[in-house]
Amino acid sequence: MMIPTGRIFRLLATAFLFLAVLSWTVPAGARTTGKQARDVRFRFAFGALHGNAKTLKIEPVTDGLVLRSGDKLKMMIELRRKCFVYVIHVNSQNEVSMIFPYDLRLFTQDYEAGRRYYVPQGEAWFQLDDNPGKETFYLIAADQRLQDVEFAYSRYMAAEPAKRLQLASMVISEIQSLQEQQRASSEEPELLARDEGAQRGFERATGADPTDVAPLAVNISFDNLYSKTIAIEHR
């Protein structure tokens, strides 16, 4: 059966009008993908300063980056919406250090959106020492405090040196369990937009450096849980 040409044009015009009205009435956020619609929860910068006095440069620290003894490292965390951010370092000897928060009491005493938290604080930098190996950094963030991780780390810190290796494995196991939860619940949790004394692996730089890592920051967005592992080769 043939449909008159005029009727076809009227049907097409009606369809175009319906789609146009629909696009005007649907909220802008609903038209974006789930990844684009998420709000930024915090900004994170991780920079390395290396080279000699003539060729000194700063660059973002990414997984697999190769650095050498004497190179410096620094992070910046800036909250945009309330969440709890942790940074845990594990060196080649499986020694564990929670480098952020500086102290767990920070979460209840001095933790607010819009403020930049530098790791280490002020103009100090971490400096890679003479003990090469793999340096692993776990960046974790969640809507709620990670009580299991905090408890495992507190036990590790309170233990005698002979018992710490086993307890370090428990801390790492808790982190890996969270990472499994994240992978199971979300495929794309991240939005990227450029905008206690010495430890083995790295140590505090003896001199301050005014170089700011904040320009290296990326925006991190997630629903309930976020984690990222950054491993560098320290040679």
Q: How far apart are CA 228 and CA 139, in angstroms?
A: 5
Residue 22 lies inside a defined structural domain of this protein? no
Residue 33 lies inside a defined structural domain of this protein? no
Q: What is the pLDDT of residue 148?
A: 95
Q: How far apart are CA 59 and CA 47, in angstroms?
A: 6
The three-class DSSP label of residue 223 is: coil
Confidence of residue 16 (pLDDT cuts 50, 70, 90): very low
Residue 2 lies inside a defined structural domain of this protein? no
Residue 99 lies inside a defined structural domain of this protein? yes
Q: What is the DSSP string of 153-193?
A: HHHHHHS-HHHHHHHHHHHHHHHHHHHHHHHHH-S------
Element (H, E) at 109: helix 106-109
CB 27 within 8 A of CB 196: no
CB 86 within 8 A of CB 147: no
Q: Which residues pair with 86 in a beta bridge?
A: 140
Residue 29 lies inside a defined structural domain of this protein? no
Residue type, 157: M
Mean pLDDT for 143-158 is 96
Cβ-proximal residues to 39 (8 Å cutoff; 6+ apart), any chain: 80, 81, 221
The three-class DSSP label of residue 52 is: coil
CA distances (Å), origin 184, targets 7, 147, 173, 214: 51, 20, 17, 32
Residue 104 lies inside a defined structural domain of this protein? yes
Radius of gyration of the chain (CA): 24
Task: Report which DSSP code applies to 216.
Answer: G
Q: How far apart are CA 112 and CA 79, in angstroms?
A: 7
The lowest-confidence range among 64-68, 123-127, 197-201, 208-212 is 197-201
Residue 12 lies inside a defined structural domain of this protein? no
Using the structure block, give the residue that is written with the tokens 């945009």: 80
Residue 114 lies inside a defined structural domain of this protein? yes
Condensed to tens digits (0 to 9), the pLDDT of residues 60-90 reads 999 999 999 999 999 999 999 999 999 999 9
Domain that includes residue 200, residue range:
39-234
Q: What is the pLDDT of residue 186?
A: 62
Cβ-proximal residues to 113 (8 Å cutoff; 6+ apart), any chain: 79, 80, 81, 82
Number of domains in the chain: 1
